[in-house]
Amino acid sequence: MIDIRRVTTREAVSIYLATNNIFLGLLKEIRELSKKKPDAIMSSGKVKIINRVLEDLKQILGTEPESKFLDILDDSTLPQTSDAVLAMVQYETALESFSNKYYQCVGEGLGATYYWVTPEFLIAYDENEE
């Protein structure tokens, strides 16, 4: 059964799909840097690259309850790698919540398929149910 109270937009899904893997790759790299030198100051170039992705993610996560915990990295005071990891993990958690909420299983058994629940999907789903 689809929870129609939890609907996202096609645009949000597009942004999620375009940025999630890039974000996870960046997070992996920053985690590795943080393991080696947790108190190393990040370069402004790294902060700019990360912030471009975080700003896109804030677009889709801005209406979610977790959004109040999401900040971009401060490029004026340049964070330490450990601080960047902490900020990025909050995004990781919010992205998992976003996916769990809007990417739902429809059907049962071998016919079960996952779909992003958008207004367009609900219209098509309703037409197929009739």
Cβ neighbours of residue 107 closer than 8 Å, sequence gap 6 or more:
113
User: pLDDT tens for residues 44-55?
Assistant: 999 999 999 999
Out of 33-37, 68-72, 103-107, 125-129, least confident range: 125-129
Q: What is the pTM of this model?
A: 0.89
∠ CA 61-66-71 to the nearest 5 degrees? 75
Q: What is the mean pLDDT of residues 7-35?
A: 97
Distance CA 97, CA 83 (A): 22
Say how many Å lie between the first and final Cα of the chain, rounded. Answer: 15
Confidence of residue 106 (pLDDT cuts 50, 70, 90): confident
104: β partners: 115
Task: From 101, 103, 98, select the one nearest 113 (Cα to Cα).
Answer: 103
Tokens of 37: 């030198």
Specify the 3-state DSSP secondary structure of 113: strand
